[in-house]
Structure 1
């Protein structure tokens, strides 16, 4: 048996990690429902060290994942005295809560990031007015947030699992991510750089304050010695963990401002824990004010937990994880493992003044699709999940009762044999799309938290990967058309009428045969401009790689237009169209090479701004 095979086998029969861990159920027995999670702080560094070691011994052999996994905040006003034209913001989940993206605008300027460089375009003169090499070594694509004359750049340095040349097992890497504060008042200038352990999970911004979630793991390296016997591997790993100091679990950071660098490390007293945890991952929530003179340590609030999905409101931040560190032995003779079938959710309160507080946690069966699977409304959290066990989906309503997110109502059995492809909660109503060969769009009544119910269902071919509200009782579905066997055939844009909860219906659709769109996986790529009922999204097919623009007019999708990503003279090097924003009466289509300005009403070309 290889070391990797033994590691998974050993993990499957170990009890859940943590000081209150209990033994896994015997094969064939009924699973014991997981108790509500409870968050408590560690009494001391000694207790933290002891419990981290115990938890890590049980789960150190698991491969930790790094999943990264709208009513837009449009027509906002600029902060300065001179009024800026109306403009579109990033397509976000909650109004007033901004999300990091590769493009931002305040009406006067458009700020973009590509190739590790930040560029500023003046919307009045339609020229590039600034450029800054960020000097980051990020694993993924840097993103930014904007407030006044400041930009906050987030560069994820966490990377993914690293395979040593002399090893036969993948070990999780623990890179260093960066947060940069940039002054935009003149030529872009770097003010401060925060560089710290871990990967950036996500961030949310309210006003000028950004909350950044970072996940890190211990820095020790478990030994590799060929393919020894399983019992020797276990003892090797235990010896390494026992001799590892607590500092190896506590992330550190450095902050550089004006050529001066200061260093810090997470304090034991800032760390809390749920009842059980893997010991391989620690989340920390950092707060940065974009209007501050420089970056600080972010007043970290930490919890020993995994996290892959972030959802935020004006006063709450939720971090969820799909328990990827739990693997239970399947009751079969195939030596396979049943995937984890639960999601832990942690809630932080966001006070107007002071750092966030870790206030509640809970667990729900099944796995989340993305942040749109969660929604806070009228004091309750609605959560949509799909079960690994039977591919059936459910919507559950949770209430915070004494620090525990407790289920108070649920509707189950959605799309049996299918999985969720998109979710949208709008006030007391919810919409869930499941798919395998056809696309049931479920309409739900969530007005009574104790008795959520399905009110209607619409079956059509294909599926919607994102649901975009486009006015009263209208939804746009963005996804793929599919044949009778469920095989995708091309980008599909559907206009739904949801005015009758008992009978949702599709009014119109547009299909780009063989097409694909970034909007299917990233809603930030969708522009909805209600002033002219304009929807714009990137679409690529065999013929062109640009933008699809259309207008919602009554029951129809009209004026459907394909926009090239750039003028013919530069189209070969412009790259795909990534985002679109509206400033005044100009539609800006953004690529890595430049910005195409067109009239927002007629879609006639106005100018091309080359990003140099």
Structure 2
């Protein structure tokens, strides 16, 4: 793969595409008989820029990196910690004494693939997928296919998956997948979490699957999404792992700093960009450079492809490392964080808040169209964005729940943003949510947001978003404990899964709480189910462990307990007239508890997927 110079090929815009009137164009190579166009088109938005050449792109990485390297390596003059910036039903409202139209949410039940997703129409990778009577699951590096149309699930095939080098998938023995048009795209990762393998498997005959393509990319995958028949993978590259020296002797720090800076100067683009067989996946002209030098240094790349032709890919990137990315049906938003020296995460869609650079979080917006992505706008919010669940887009408006930073008061806020040309500008806001507290969960509706914060009690805030320029706090409810995940249960009910706590704020164990949100000026808690001491509700960190069955009025959620030994249950919560009855079913033990799924099937049955088995769950 050649590293091309930027041209103005407007007629053949590449993956970052053409933003007519408000953005920019990034082009493809001129033909062999065509001279390159000069000068290249610049970004219309000053928050991002393009390098004039691959050499200039590399210089932009190196120049920023030199300020972050010291005698111990990354981290400047501080003691080194191996650091890579790292880090996935409606409600009837009544307010102001008048009845308003029913609000709707984009996510009410598991989607047709069986996964409880953030956005209707945007599927997410999971350890299990269903398509009609076919169920696929990953287990210990194997893709297993089951027929779930009979009295019991029947195993059809088992396909062992290796990386592109023929190595066994022991880094991520579970793996995750999406499924479209008879083909599965499976994601696995290396033991150190620094490379990702995408395997496309043809299951047109599920009794005899065929591996179509296996590609290993040197980058960490932090999200996988499916828009129609287009798979998008978000890849992260943090600071390169270099052979840094440490101080030794009288002048050790000076010598060590000079040597370490020389190592940074000797880096190539292959050290900063995701690569396949040593060649960058993304072209130089498809990498946008933030003007804020305080954002985390690295690269976040989105690679898109159709599983029908998995080797034909488009890619675009922003020269910052961030795992806070959110996809709507037609937009991709990337929230940049600040440097984070310390632990390197290797999970998909994990919740790891990165500090805001200078107390302000930049946000970059891209429009999605087929396999293309076009930069359309960027802006910033004062404060920190905890994770993708803190962002939501509807009707051309981006809504963001932010926590405090050095540029805010000690409170949380909800901010609405609109696209004005190539800028994301603030349209409205509500402040003073949970003073001195932390945002634990957010649930977005078309014209409503429910925000939960916590320090000692659980304030649940209902915010009217009908007028995006003037969001209004309608009501709040303060109770012990907190909800880490919220799910609507029809028009007037909401369930929160999280932690029970004492009045002093000490957590005691998992809980599920039923809320009445008929009157948003006066939300009420109707009933609480408390689980054993020191238990944890899986949906709090992974909403894929929650399933709502609207016809049966039953919620299924995974609860676990234990440290040296772990037991996992399925909590069967049956709703009736404002109360819940609970039945606990022990299903799994150990680390396999994290992969337990309850999958609704077209037959009306529910498949229980555990570490070693697939069975039908008795409701």
Measure how far apart 1:230 and its partner are: 4.1
Moved more, 229-238 or 455-464: 229-238
In the alignment, what sits opposite 2:259? 236
User: Secondary structure of 1:299's partner?
Assistant: strand
1:320 maps to which residue? Answer: 335
- Of stretches 181-190 and 407-416 in structure 1, the one that deviates more from structure 2 is 181-190
Give the drift of 1:577.
Answer: 6.6
Which residue is 2:235 aligned to? 214
Q: 1:349 aligns with which of 367, 372, 379?
A: 367
Decide whether aligned partners of structure 1 residues 121 and 410 sit closer, same or farther in structure 2, where only a CA change above 3 A counts: same
1:480 aligns with 2:499: yes
Aligned residue in 1 for 2:177 = 144
Cα displacement string for residues 341-381 of structure 1 (whole angstroms, at most 9, x for unaligned residues): 332222111113x4112222222122222211000022111
Is 2:303 the partner of 1:281? no
Counterpart position of 2:95:
none
Work out whether 1:115 is the aligned partner of 2:140.
yes
Aligned pair in 2 of structure 1 residues 406, 435: CA closer, same or farther (>3 Å)?
Answer: same
The 2-side partners of 1:518 and 1:112 are apart by 19
Tell me, what secondary structure is at the counterpart of 1:47?
A: helix
1:44 aligns with 2:47: no
Cα distance change of structure 1 residues 233 and 263 upon mapping to structure 2, 3 Å threshold? closer
Q: Secondary structure at the match of 1:356?
A: strand
TM-superposition CA deviations, 1:128-176 (whole Å, max 9, x none): 111111124464452111113111111234846xxxxxxxxxxxxxx22
Q: Which residue pairs with 1:165 in the alignment?
A: none
- Structure-1 separation of matches of 2:505 and 2:65: 42
- Asked if structure 2 preserves the Cα contact closer than 8 Å seen for 1:348 and 1:360, the reply is yes
Q: 1:552 to 1:577 in 2, by over 3 A?
A: farther
Residue 195 (structure 1) aligned with residue 213 (structure 2):
no
Give the match for residue 583 of structure 2: 561
Per-residue CA deviation, residues 410-463 of structure 1 (Å, 9 max, x unaligned), is: 111111111001011111100111101100001101111221121111001100
Q: How does 1:63-78 map to 2 (within 5 A)?
A: 63-67=83-87, 72=107, 74=109
Change in 2 beyond 3 A, CA 1:252/1:577: closer
Moved more, 242-251 or 432-441: 242-251
Task: Give 5+ residue unaligned stretches, structure 2.
Answer: 1-44, 76-82, 89-104, 164-168, 343-354
Q: State the Cα distance separating 1:499 from its structure 2 match.
A: 1.8
Q: Which residue of 2 aligns with 1:461?
A: 480
Instruction: Give per-residue Cα distances to partners, 1:23-67, cap 9 Å, x unaligned.
Output: xxxxxxxxxxxxx96122222123212222211112342332322
- Say whether 1:92 aligns with 2:113: no
Q: Distance in 2 between matches of 1:366 and 1:572?
A: 38
For the 8 Å contact 2:220–2:237, the answer to whether it is kept is yes
Which residue pairs with 2:449 in the alignment? 430
SS at match of 2:463: strand
Q: Which stretch of structure 1 is more off in the superposition, 265-274 or 111-120?
A: 265-274
Q: Number of residues paired by the alignment? A: 516
CA contact (8 A) 2:384 2:404 kept: yes
RMSD: 2.8
* Counterparts in 2 of 1:67 and 1:433: CA distance versus 1, 3 Å: same
Distance 1:247 1:563, change over 3 A: closer
Q: Per-residue deviation at 1:553? A: 2.7
Q: Which moved more, 1:535-544 or 1:118-127?
A: 535-544
Moved more, 363-372 or 103-112: 363-372
Are the aligned partners of 1:37 and 1:404 in contact in 2 as well (CA < 8 Å)? Answer: no
TM score, norm. by length of structure 2:
0.78
Cα displacement (A) at 1:273: 1.1
Maintained 8 Å contact 2:430/2:473: yes
Alpha-carbon contact 2:108-2:489 (below 8 Å) kept:
no
User: Distance between the aligned counterparts of 2:614 and 2:118, measured in 1?
Assistant: 25
Query: Equivalents in 2 of 1:533, 1:523: separation in Å?
Result: 18
1:104-128 CA distances to partner (integer Å, 9 max, x unpaired)? 1112121111222211111013211
1:434-445 maps to which residues of 2 (within 5 A)? 434-445=453-464
- Aligned 8 A contact 2:440 2:482 in 1: yes
Structure-1 separation of matches of 2:590 and 2:427 = 55
1:376 pairs with one of 381, 393, 397? 393
For residues 218 and 439 of structure 1, do their structure 2 counterparts lie closer, same or farther at Cα, with a shift above 3 Å needed? Answer: closer
Conservation of the 8 A alpha-carbon contact between 1:109 and 1:123: yes
Describe the shift of the 1:133–1:347 C-alpha distance in structure 2 as closer, same or farther (beyond 3 A).
same
Aligned to 1:131: 158
1:413 is the counterpart of 2:432: yes
Equivalent residue, structure 2, for 1:582: 600
Contact (CA 8 Å) 1:547, 1:589: kept in 2 or not? no
Quote the offset at 1:524 in angstroms.
0.9
Q: How does 1:254-293 map to 2 (within 5 A)?
A: 254=277, 265-277=281-293, 280-290=297-307, 292=308
8 Å Cα contact 1:457/1:502 also seen in 2: yes
Q: 1:575 to 1:211 in 2, by over 3 A?
A: closer
2:547 aligned to which of 523, 527, 534? 527
Measured in 1, the distance between the counterparts of 2:135 and 2:46 equals: 44
CA distances 1:159-208 after superposition (whole Å, capped 9, x unpaired): 46xxxxxxxxxxxxxx2211111111222321101111210011211111
Does the CA contact (< 8 Å) of 1:283 and 1:304 recur in 2?
yes
CA distance in 2, matches of 1:444, 1:107: 38
CA distance in 2, matches of 1:573, 1:516: 14
Task: Find the counterpart in structure 2 of residue 80 from structure 1.
Answer: none
Inter-CA distance 301–48: structure 2 relative to 1 (3 Å threshold)? same
Q: 2:412 aligns with which of 388, 393, 417?
A: 393
CA–CA distance in 2 between the matches of 1:481 and 1:357? 44
Indicate if the aligned counterparts of 1:538 and 1:548 stay in contact, CA closer than 8 A.
yes
Against the structure 1 CA distance between its residues 324 and 245, is the aligned structure 2 distance closer, same or farther, given a 3 Å change threshold?
closer
Aligned to 1:29: none
What is the deviation of 1:222? Answer: 4.8
Q: Take 2:617 and 2:55, find their aligned partners in 1: how far apart are those partners? A: 62
Give per-residue Cα distances to partners, 1:543-575, cap 9 Å, x unaligned.
9522111123331224x2222317xxxx89986
1:594 equivalent in structure 2: 613
Show the counterpart of 2:322: 307
